[in-house]
Amino acid sequence: MQPISRRVFLAGAAAIAIAACSDDARPAADGTGAPGATEPGSGASTTAAATTTDEPTTSTAAPVELPGDPFTIGVASGDPDARGAVLWTRLAPDPLNGGGMPADDVPVVWEISATPEFTEVVASGTETATVQHGHSVHAVVPLEQGDWYYRFRVGGYTSLVGLTRPAPAAGTDVAEARIAAASCQHYESGLYAAHRDIAEQAPSFVVWLGDYIYEGAGSANADPADRTHLGPEPTTVEEYRNRYARYKTDPQLQASHAACPWFVIWDDHEVENNYAGLAPQEPADAAGFQERRFAAYQAWWEHQPVRLSPPTGAADEYRIYRDAQWGDLVQIALLDGRQYRSDQACGDVALSLEPACPEASDPARTMLGDEQEQWLLDTLGASAATWKLIGNQVIIADATFNEAVLNYDQWDGYQAAREQLLQSFADAAIENIVVLTGDIHLAAVAQLRAGDRAAGPNVGVEFVTTSVSSGGLVGEELTDVLKTFPNLIDAELAHRGYSLHTVTPQQWTADYRIVTDVASADSEVTTFGTYLVAAGSNTVTKAP
């Protein structure tokens, strides 16, 4: 989407180092048994230690000759449940040129300790990094409740140390969780002070809302020059691997990943801007798009700490929508707003101030697909958790302007589907829905209502986080115009950053963290505004 200027908008109207992530309210061990670790579908072999309360164990692998340090793109953990988490790395001695690994599968040792110095290894195992999947490692490791440090070893090299934790079990009272929500980190557009701040803030977990990479070709005009993408727009798995590696060599992104577990979903730029299902942005590219999407999905899996099997074929569905739970405090539903959606309506025209064409309100059009939408309603409706968190890609709140759809890629371009979803929330009387959204490179707070956006019943709150580094799409001079929309509580269009959420059984508190200077890795990061949702209210207010 191209930037929106005030003139265009008003024309019609006028006619680190690793932070010690803490969870002070974490419960004691729940006593559930931890099974042996299993690798999510890569065919890698795993020999897992017993739970971390057993006698210390070690695991060794056969000697491996490597051309250099393979841990150049960091470590990560993710998709924690009550019995453990996924530990991730990818071996890449030459990260920007295919990885530089031998054409052999390689055994990699993972280790767990209670201290970052690893004075005692309390659990370990061996995972195979395969050629087929870019020498990536996804080890599903059993963990008892608490904070645990992890690392990897191979060929005489040891990775940096990460910190992870399992999720509190269902039925567990949790006094507090701290959640960072972030998206949109265009590598050429700025530095990652926001990620440095995430690591320093030490959240319980991160929800990544999409646009982890951008697919555009390298720019000769990138500022600063050393932040340029390398090579042309990727279309093959090898090219997407190089693009992910370009991003993951950033030390502040590595620190953010190493600081705590992440829940990750994708948006469009992990494949191509504004793609919809199997429809590329440009219809002329349709012939090869299915294979390109498959390559992009595989590279996404290879570079994210997800508890998923890898994609298996270009013609197959690759389901990433899933749920998780953080004790009885937060039910998490992570959506896929790309793979099942109808193609954008009205030719996906950008910034038109004409009333939307009839196609935009066609009830047959879908954003999530029938199966995913029913799954979402069932998941939220059955949950006993106090809060229902929805990780969502594009803005749900009505942002139409005088009946014009300014962005057909958002839920505004799927009006009947949005109305049906919000009405379903109302009909099911689901309380305490909080939607975390990325994509649009601005910060906004919206009241979600069924029916009329100004007067309908409140069914939830949407916190739209700005981009980590991607340039703004809506001119900051339009801030006051956006605030006139009846369902928008506040907006901040000038800065990059992320949102930090402190959640208790009584209240959801959202702090909007903004970066003073995105061109500086050492930039100050401050709080622009704080927003409150009292449990049971479905209503958001701005704190004094």
Contact 163, 26 (CB under 8 A): no
Chain position carrying tokens 């601005």: 442
Burial class (CB in 10 A: 0-12, 13-18, 19+), 257: buried
Query: d(Cα 352, Cα 354) in Å, to the nearest integer?
Result: 5
Give the model's pLDDT for residue 352: 82
Closest to 510 (Cα-Cα) out of 455, 449, 454, 446 = 446
Give the model's pLDDT for residue 226: 81
Give the model's pLDDT for residue 61: 67
Chain position carrying tokens 């050492």: 522
Sign of CA dihedral 45, 47, 52, 57: negative
In whole angstroms, how far apart are CA 182 and each of 125, 321, 393? 32, 18, 11
pLDDT tens for the chain, residues 1 to 544: 444 443 333 333 333 233 333 333 322 233 232 323 344 544 333 333 323 333 344 566 668 899 999 999 999 999 999 999 999 999 999 999 999 999 999 999 999 999 999 999 999 999 999 999 999 999 999 999 999 999 999 999 999 999 999 999 999 999 999 999 999 999 999 999 999 999 999 999 999 999 999 999 998 776 666 899 999 999 999 999 999 999 999 999 999 999 999 999 999 999 999 999 999 999 999 999 999 999 999 999 999 999 999 999 999 999 999 999 999 999 999 999 999 999 999 999 887 889 999 999 999 999 999 999 999 999 999 999 999 999 999 999 999 998 899 999 999 999 999 999 999 999 999 999 999 999 999 999 999 999 999 999 999 999 999 999 999 998 889 899 899 999 999 999 999 999 999 999 999 999 999 999 999 999 999 999 999 999 999 999 999 9
Token pair in block for residue 351: 């910034």
Query: d(Cα 156, Cα 140) in Å, to the nearest integer?
Result: 23
Helix (H), strand (E), coil (C) string for 474-512: ECHHHHHHHCCCCCEEEEECCCEEEEEEEECCCEEEEEE
Chain position carrying tokens 């002329």: 284
Closest to 361 (Cα-Cα) out of 346, 347, 340, 351 = 346
Give the model's pLDDT for residue 220: 78
Token pair in block for residue 224: 């600063």
CA 393-394-399 angle, to 5 degrees, is 160
Chain position carrying tokens 């906004």: 444
Chain position carrying tokens 């997800």: 306
**Rounded to the nearest 5°, which phi and psi values hold at 277?**
65, -120
Give the model's pLDDT for residue 351: 78
Entry pTM: 0.91
Give the model's pLDDT for residue 59: 63
Query: d(Cα 282, Cα 273) in Å, to the nearest integer?
Result: 10
Give the start-end residues of each E strand in 165-300: 177-182, 205-208, 262-264
Name all domains of the chain by residue range, CATH numbers in brackets: 6-20+168-542 (3.60.21.70), 46-164 (2.60.40.380)
Query: d(Cα 491, Cα 451) in Å, to the nearest integer?
Result: 23
| End-to-end Cα, the chain, rounded Å | 34
